[in-house]
Amino acid sequence: MTFILAIDQGTTSSRAILFDANMKRAGTAQHEFTQHFPQEGWVEHDAEEIWDSVLRVCREAMETTGVTPDQIAGIGITNQRETTVIWDRATGAPIHNAIVWQDRRTADICARYKQAGCEDDVTHQTGLLLDPYFSGTKVKWLLDNVPGARDRADAGELMFGTIDSFLIWRLTEGRSHATDATNAARTLLFDIHKGDWSAEICDLLDVPMSMLPTVHDCASDFGTTTLLGGDIPILGVAGDQQAATIGQACFHAGMMKSTYGTGCFALLNTGDKPVESKNRLLTTIAYQLDGQRTYALEGSIFIAGAAVQWLRDALQIIDNAAESGELAEKADANQHVVMVPAFTGLGAPYWNPECRGAIFGLTRNSGRAEIANATLESIAFQTRDLWHAMQGDWDDNAEVILRVDGGMSASDWAMQGLADLLGAPVDRPMMQETTALGAAWLAGMRAGVYPDQQGFSETWALDQRFEPVLSADERDAAYTRWQRAVSAAMAF
């Protein structure tokens, strides 16, 4: 039997999943790792801890299934995007903790570039905005703030990479400094139209181009690892949201998926044409295969499942994530409690790094259930914000059905609420590990063991369709309350 090993390096945990020749899960291992919050608004990961967790889960998945290296035809890597690592070319040692995508420390740097009038040009080339979310200003911060880093970078001694790139470097023991087009497209340093690094933006952000990895197609030869007991080639790489888009088989223009993990990321396939957003969405690369780029419009929400974790860890009103739905079901429908989960600012379409969370509409009758319900609804409202923005940018009138995945999509209550507040059907597939599946498919297709796009699309199977049942009036009234709450939170 032949297998593909998918490595899913996420924001809170690393997972390894072995898929068999029929693309069925044969074994999984997962480890959480430490989140570091050194200052308000800062989020870091220890890249060494990430590396250890990745090696551990790969070895565990192989040991528990008894799969040997010679049975693994290839590795697919998918990863939290934008998170920035800089390491020493000679020793491989990171010069600092990784700065995580959620980190807001470069808000001032972004503001300065915006004031200098740079945003339009940056957006035009990269499809992104001058927001701390992306890697470019994080690289600048590291070079400017880690003692000696700027000189070492200028001397060609340092390397930059998103997590995929760092893992490839470590897995190949320094033989390959590579990334794929989807991860490159999130750095703020990559021209998504030319498919190459932008010398102009690297110059603007003071990033030496010698630090940058080589950019490949998503299905390509990224190097071979010998660290898992034999020679295994790395054949697929994609950022996690793009991998989920692939795993959901959103291969045609107009198909859209939304992944509810720590954050929520909705991607609408726009085909071979990049669509420049009029509504503060991002233009990004959905995937690049055989040198052909397929583009997407993306709406990024920073807090989705993380708000459920907040109910569990900070408020301690639930013991586990699944209880959030059970509690929300008990909420009094006549109370209009609205929660804005702007714990790390607001992403699309607001892009307000300074905004913080708020709860509105509390009365003496409001309790755990109303807060849990408001938390789950906030994720649906944010999706509706993105949905509206996408409809404004995408003038194709065909009905769009949303395909959902990620940890939170397991909640029937949250998914029904989503369909109600969108006023559109929501499809949840049987296979909810779409991110890992997308990475596995890239590697398996490259290895010649998995079907082509068409064949893969035919394997997508529906678990449940959630149809909207809320009246249009109720939906609109609820959305108006949400919009007022967001305005008030931003004004605070």
Ligand X SMILES: O=P(O)(O)OC[C@H](O)CO
Ligand Y SMILES: Nc1ncnc2c1ncn2[C@@H]1O[C@H](COP(=O)(O)OP(=O)(O)O)[C@@H](O)[C@H]1O
Determine whether 332 is exposed, middle or buried from the number of CB atoms within 10 Å of its CB (0-12, 13-18, 19+): middle
Using the rule CB under 6 A, is 414 a contact of ligand Y? yes
DSSP-derived pairing of the beta strands 72-79 and 3-9: parallel
Does residue number 217 form part of the binding site for ligand X (CB under 6 A)?
Answer: no
411 binds ligand Y (CB under 6 A): yes
Residue 44, binding choice from ligand X, ligand Y, none, Cβ under 5 to 8 Å by partner class: none
Q: Which of 3, 19, 87, 101 binds ligand X (CB under 6 A)?
A: 101
195 labelled as ligand-binding?
Answer: no
Residue 470 DSSP code:
S
**Residue 127 interacts with ligand X (CB under 6 A)?**
no
Q: Which does 241 bind (CB under 5 to 8 A by kind): ligand Y, ligand X, none?
A: ligand X
Choices 5-13, 97-105, 132-140, 217-225; region in contact with ligand Y by CB under 6 A: 5-13
Of the candidates 82, 100, 83, 88, the residue with the CA atom closest to the CA atom of residue 159: 88
Q: Residue 410 binds which entry of ligand Y, ligand X, none, with Cβ cut-offs from 5 to 8 Å by kind?
A: ligand Y
| 305: contact with ligand Y by CB under 6 A | yes
* Partner from ligand Y, ligand X, none binding residue 391, C-beta < 5-8 Å depending on class: none
Q: What are the φ and ψ backbone dihedral angles of 297, each rounded to 5 degrees?
A: -95, 135
Please give the sequence-ordered ranges of beta strands (E in DSSP) within 184-343, or none if there are none: 190-191, 196-197, 214-216, 224-225, 232-239, 256-260, 264-271, 282-289, 292-301, 338-340
Radius of gyration (Cα) for the chain, nearest Å?
22
Dist. CA 458–CA 249, nearest whole Å: 9
> Which tokens hold the place of 188?
């703020």
The two three-digit tokens of residue 361, written as one number: 């509409």
| Contact range with ligand X by CB under 6 A, out of 108-116, 124-132, 155-163, 237-245 | 237-245
Q: What letter represents residue 329's amino acid? A: E
What φ, ψ does residue 71 adopt, rounded to 5°?
A: -85, -10
Q: Which of 116, 199, 315, 322 binds ligand Y (CB under 6 A)?
A: 322
Residue 263 touching ligand X (CB under 6 A): yes
From the centroid of its chain, how far is CA 159? 23
Stretch that binds ligand X, among 64-72, 137-145, 234-242, 461-469 (CB under 6 A): 234-242
Give the CA angle between residues 160, 288, 445 to the nearest 5°.
105
Q: How far is the CB of 448 from ligand Y (least distance, A)?
A: 29
Binding span for ligand X by CB under 6 A among 77-85, 120-128, 147-155, 281-289: 77-85
| 438 makes contact with ligand Y (CB under 6 A) | no
Give 28's contacts (C-beta < 8 A, 6+ positions apart).
15, 16, 17, 18, 61
Any contact of residue 410 with ligand Y (CB under 6 A)? yes
Closest to ligand X by CB, 67 or 243: 243
Q: How far apart are CA 110 and CA 114, in angstroms?
A: 6
Instruction: Assess 417 for contact with ligand X (CB under 6 A).
Output: no
Q: Which of 16, 250, 308, 331 binds ligand Y (CB under 6 A)?
A: 308
d(CA 229, CA 248): 32
Cβ atoms 116, 204 nearer than 8 A: no
In the complex, which residues of this chain contact ligand Y (CB under 6 A)? 10-13, 261-262, 305-306, 308-309, 321-322, 324-325, 406-408, 410-411, 414
What is the binding site for ligand X (CB under 6 A)?
Answer: 10-11, 80-82, 101, 239-241, 261-263
> Residues annotated in the binding site for ADP, as ranges?
11, 15, 262, 305, 407
